[in-house]
Amino acid sequence: ESWETMPELPEVERARKLLLDFVDVPIVDCVVLEEGGGPRTGQFDDIVIENMKKEDVCKLFKGSCLHNVYRLGKTIWAELVYVRDNKFFYRSLHPVLHFGMTGSICVKGRSAPEYKGFKVKPGMKKSHEVVDAGDSSAAWPPCYTKLRLVLKNGSEIALVDPRRLARVRFRKEPALSPPVSLLAPDPLQSSFLSAKEFRWRLRELRAPIKAILLNQEKVVSGVGNWIADEVCYQARVHPGTLCFALTDEECDALHFQLRDVCRIAVTANSDHHKFPSNWLFHHRWAKKTRTTATAQTEEGKIIFQTIASRTTAIVPAVQGTRPRLTPVANQPDKRKRQEGVARSASAGAVAGNAAPLVARPSKRARVDAGRSASAGAMAPGEGPAPKSPSAGSSAAAAFGDASLGRGKRKRTPSSLSAKNVVQSALDTSRPNKRRKVKLTRKAKS
C-alpha cells in the first residue's frame, strides 16, 4: 500500500490553472511517444491514452488550441478549437484527463509539481544518467512523459505519469459523458449541496463516512485519502462512523470542513508548506517514515487503522477510540422515519384512551367465534355447553384457532385467493389433473 499522496482536488485545480496560462495559443506539434529515458521510451502508451491511435491523437492536437479548461472533482477537460478566417470552431473530440495516483502536468522552464511522497523526475541523458534538475534545458522532457504539446510561443506542456494510472480520454461532449457525468457535486462549486441536503444524503447511507467521502459518485467528488482524514479530524468525527449514525452537528461540521479544507488547499496552490500548522496533514505521514511511535498532533497521539481499504490516521483524543455504529438517542434512522407517522398515530390513540388496534381475524375464525357464542347462549339441555379455554389458549379461543395460543396464526384455505389455491396445488409433487380441477372449483365456489 502506498502512502504517496495522489493528485486530489487541490493538485488537479493547480494543473487546471497551469493550463489556463496557454489558452488560445496554437499547438504546432504533438509527441505521443514516451520520452525522458524511462523503460518504455519511444513507445506509444495505449493504456494511458485510451481508445485512440497515435496518428489520430496527433491529428487532433496539431493546429488546435485550448479554448478553455474545466474541472469537476479530480477530472479536468479542455475545449479544443481551431481557427479559420479569424473564427473559432470546435473540434469533434475534446481531451478528458484524470491523473490517477502519480500523474501531473509539467511546463518547460517551470518547477515540476512536488507531492508529499514523490517528485517528478527530470529527464535523462542518452547514457540514462539523471541530469541536474536545475538545468532546465537538459532536464526536459521529464521522465515518463506520455504526451507532449509544443505551442507556437515556444512553450511546451507534458503529461507525466510513472505508474501508468493516468487516463487521457476523448469525448464529444465531456460534461455530458462518462466519467464526468457520473461524478458527484464538487465542494468548491456554488451548486454544491447545502448543509440540509448533505445531511439527507448521509442519512440514507450505512457505510463508513470515510468510504462515502472517497466514493466519487455518491455525495462529493474530488476527495482523496488525505483530504478525507483531514476533514474527519477537523470535524471531530471518527472516520469509521457509519453515515446514518452521525448526528446533525457532526453532519454540519463535516459539510463545513469539507469546503473549508479544499478552499484553503486551493488558495495555497496545493503547496503543503503553506497549509495551517494545526492540520493533521503535517503529521499523518509517520507510517511511511516509520515513526509511528512518536506520531502525534498538538491534541494527541496518532493511530493508524485500515478503513475503506485505505490506511487512515486517527487522533483518538479528539475523534474517539471507536466508531459509532448505531444512531444516538432521538436520532431515527431511515426506516424509523418512514414509520414515524404510523408510530405517532398509534401513540396518540393510546394516549387518548382509544381502543388499541388489533389484527382482523380471518373469516373462518369469525365464523367459529360466532358458533361458539351461539352455542353458549343455548339453554341447559338444548345443546352442548361451550368448552372453557385454558389460560394459555385464551387468545386462541377468542379467534377460534388453537394455533394462536402458540403465537402463530394458521392460514386457512378460506383466506387464500383462488389463484393461490391453484398455485399451492401445483407446488405439490406430481399433482394429478383431477385434484387441480377439484381445488379450482372449490376455490371459485
Does the annotation mark 7 as catalytic?
yes
Answer for the pair 139, 133: CB distance below 8 angstroms, yes or no: yes
Question: Rg of the chain's alpha carbons, rounded to an integer?
Answer: 35
C-alpha cell at 299: 491534541
- Mind giving me the DSSP string for 302-358? -EEEEETTEEEEE-HHHH-SS---SPPTT---HHHHHTHHHHHHHHHHHHTTPPPP-
Q: Which one of 35, 74, 239, 361 is the catalytic residue?
A: 74
> Which among 166, 157, 185 has a CA at the least distance from the CA of 97?
166
Phi-psi region of 353 (alpha: psi -120 to 50; beta: other; left: phi over 0): left
Does the annotation mark 410 as catalytic?
no
Helix axes 418-427, 433-444, angle to 10 degrees: 160
- How far is it, in rounded angstroms, from Cα 277 to Cα 281? 9
- How far is it, in rounded angstroms, from Cα 145 to Cα 241? 41
> Which among 293, 267, 266, 298 has a CA at the least distance from the CA of 282?
298
Long-range own/partner contacts, residues 270-273 (CB < 8 A, 24 or more apart):
270/10, 270/11, 270/13, 270/14, 270/113, 272/116
Backbone angles phi, psi at 348, to 5 degrees: -65, -35
CA dist 155 to 14, 94, 139, 158, 368, Å?
18, 21, 15, 10, 95
C-alpha cell at 113: 509539481
Answer for the pair 317, 300: CB distance below 8 angstroms, yes or no: yes
The beta-strand segments (E) located in 262-309 are 296-297, 300-301, 303-307
Number of C-beta neighbours around residue 231 at 10 A: 28
Does the annotation mark 173 as catalytic?
no
Q: Which one of 8, 34, 230, 250 is the catalytic residue?
A: 8
Backbone angles phi, psi at 273, to 5 degrees: -70, -20
Count Cβ neighbours within 10 Å for each residue of 305-326 and write b for 16 or more, e otherwise. eebbebbbbbbeebbeeebbee
Answer for the pair 106, 157: CB distance below 8 angstroms, yes or no: yes
Which residue shows C-alpha cell 529515458? 37
Number of C-beta neighbours around residue 397 at 10 A: 19
- Give the residue numbers marked as catalytic: 7-8, 74
